[in-house]
């Protein structure tokens, strides 16, 4: 892993995807190929992924009621906070209250809140690699030193807990755990999460649980919230409606203290949280007001349909990967909406690295993939499979054509 590792402080996912799109010079209406993006984690780009009628009606009713056009409390509407507490409590061995929940503008703002609250002189934070680059970006702004913990592809992208012990010191404030995994498509077992909690307790830091893909698990392992282990180690749970309800543009997220032992109940800590939220702008009030109905009335069949679609799409990707020698995936996705594949440059004639591969692929085949460098792993690729089967099939046909065009000539040995 070390040879492929990289840092991402100057790279953002949206930034590099924008550059890739700009590199495609021929539009479809000019006789060019249709652009197929398997780079952005936005399922709404494809018509097979749509939110529920319940969600649409709840937002419409909230908006048209004329009751929610004013400011909300900075920590969020009480009824929305209460509904989120009840929703998360379904999977926990204890009950959360609305006081444990703070509503954010998407999970990205929840990340910023978590790192801002933990920042102090000489503090460091442990981030997974590969991971989500917003964490590093936020850490840099908050003057938090970043230390990377490699995920282990040969072990289903589990966290290297020996590396955690080697990297942590008295100034380590937290370990970030992304489960289900972005960008790797992994789902952690109960046993591995327990080991993470015990390691964090032993070393004296808390866990930030990024569960924006919570419940999007379609493999053999069920989704287990990190908050289940909140009695072992304090956990800050970050999440949103974005992925499970397929509404990333609604920007409805949450920052939750899943901590039955009460480590965050200190009045000074609560007051600090509240003061920080006073300077933030949360989601639109009418979106917040729709949250109780959305969480309570969405039918289970909607979730099952989403999981079936993601499982089918990921299977198509895995089948095609076997047909293209220059890419390989040792781990079949079990959840989320993305997977990592390793790029074998030795099979390609004129491709220097993952970034070069993605730009040439975009220009020649109008297919967008995310270079692994953007998520901390050079010469890998992130493929988002939240797309319809037809688009995925067409994208991989083009990737195979690209490989054949750039494959090194194999000369017979004499």
Q: What is the pTM for the complete model shown? A: 0.95
Q: Is a pLDDT exceeding 50 seen at residue 1? A: no
Give the single-character DSSP code of 367.
Answer: E
Specify the pLDDT at position 411. 54
Q: Looking at residues 213-220, what average pLDDT do you find?
A: 98
User: 391 pLDDT band (50/70/90 cuts)?
Assistant: very high
Domains of the chain: 13-50+301-406 (3.90.1150.10), 53-297 (3.40.640.10)
User: 3 pLDDT band (50/70/90 cuts)?
Assistant: very low
pLDDT tens for 283-298 read 999 999 999 999 999 9
pLDDT tens for 89-136 read 999 999 999 999 999 999 999 999 999 999 999 999 999 999 999 999
List b or e across 233-260, with b for residues whose CB sees 16 or more CB atoms inside 10 angstroms. bbbbbbbbbbbbbbbbebbbbbbbbbbb
Q: Looking at residues 69-95, what average pLDDT do you find?
A: 98
Q: Write the DSSP assignment of 323-341 as a string of letters.
A: T-TTEE-SS---BSSEEEE
Helix (H/G/I), strand (E/B), else coil: 142: coil
Q: Detail the DSSP E strand segments found in 160-315.
A: 172-178, 206-210, 235-240, 252-258
Specify the pLDDT at position 9. 52
Q: Is a pLDDT exceeding 70 seen at residue 255? A: yes
The span from the CA of 168 to the CA of 377, in Å, is 22
């Amino acid at each position: 892993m070390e040879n492929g590792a990289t840092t991402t402080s100057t790279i953002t996912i949206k930034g590099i995807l924008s550059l890739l799109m700009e590199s495609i010079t021929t539009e479809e209406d000019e006789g060019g190929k249709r652009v197929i993006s398997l780079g952005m984690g936005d399922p709404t780009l494809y018509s097979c992924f749509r939110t529920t009628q319940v969600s649409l009606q709840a937002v419409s009713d909230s908006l048209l009621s004329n009751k929610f056009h004013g400011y909300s409390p900075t920590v969020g509407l009480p009824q929305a906070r209460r509904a989120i507490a009840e929703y998360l409590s379904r999977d926990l061995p204890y009950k959360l209250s609305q006081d444990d929940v703070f509503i954010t503008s998407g999970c990205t703002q929840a990340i910023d809140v978590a790192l801002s609250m933990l920042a102090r002189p000489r503090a460091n934070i442990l981030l997974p690699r590969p991971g989500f680059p917003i964490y590093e970006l936020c850490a840099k702004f908050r003057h938090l030193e970043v230390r990377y913990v490699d995920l282990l592809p040969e072990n289903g992208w589990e966290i290297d807990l020996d590396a955690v012990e080697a990297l942590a010191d008295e100034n380590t404030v937290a370990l970030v755990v992304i489960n289900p995994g972005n960008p790797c498509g992994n789902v952690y077992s109960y046993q591995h999460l327990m080991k993470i909690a015990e390691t964090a307790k032993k070393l004296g830091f808390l866990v930030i649980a990024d569960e924006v893909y919570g419940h999007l698990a379609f493999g053999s392992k069920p989704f287990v919230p990190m908050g289940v282990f909140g009695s072992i180690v304090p956990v800050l749970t970050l999440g949103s409606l974005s992925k499970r309800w397929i509404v990333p543009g609604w920007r409805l997220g949450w920052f939750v203290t899943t901590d039955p032992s009460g480590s965050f109940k200190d009045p000074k800590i609560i007051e600090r949280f509240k003061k920080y939220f006073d300077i933030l702008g949360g989601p639109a009030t009418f979106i917040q007001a729709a949250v109780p109905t959305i969480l309570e009335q969405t039918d289970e069949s909607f979730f099952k349909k989403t999981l079936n679609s993601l499982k089918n799409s990921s299977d198509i990707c895995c089948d095609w990967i076997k047909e293209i020698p220059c890419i390989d995936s040792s781990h079949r996705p079990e959840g989320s909406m993305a997977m990592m594949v390793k790029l074998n440059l030795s099979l390609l004639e004129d491709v220097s690295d993952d970034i070069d591969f993605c730009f040439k692929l975009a220009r020649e085949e109008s297919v967008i993939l995310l270079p692994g460098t953007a998520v901390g792993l050079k010469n890998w690729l992130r493929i988002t499979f939240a797309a319809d089967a037809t688009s995925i099939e067409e994208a991989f046909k083009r990737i195979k054509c690209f490989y054949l065009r750039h494959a090194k000539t194999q000369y017979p040995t004499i």
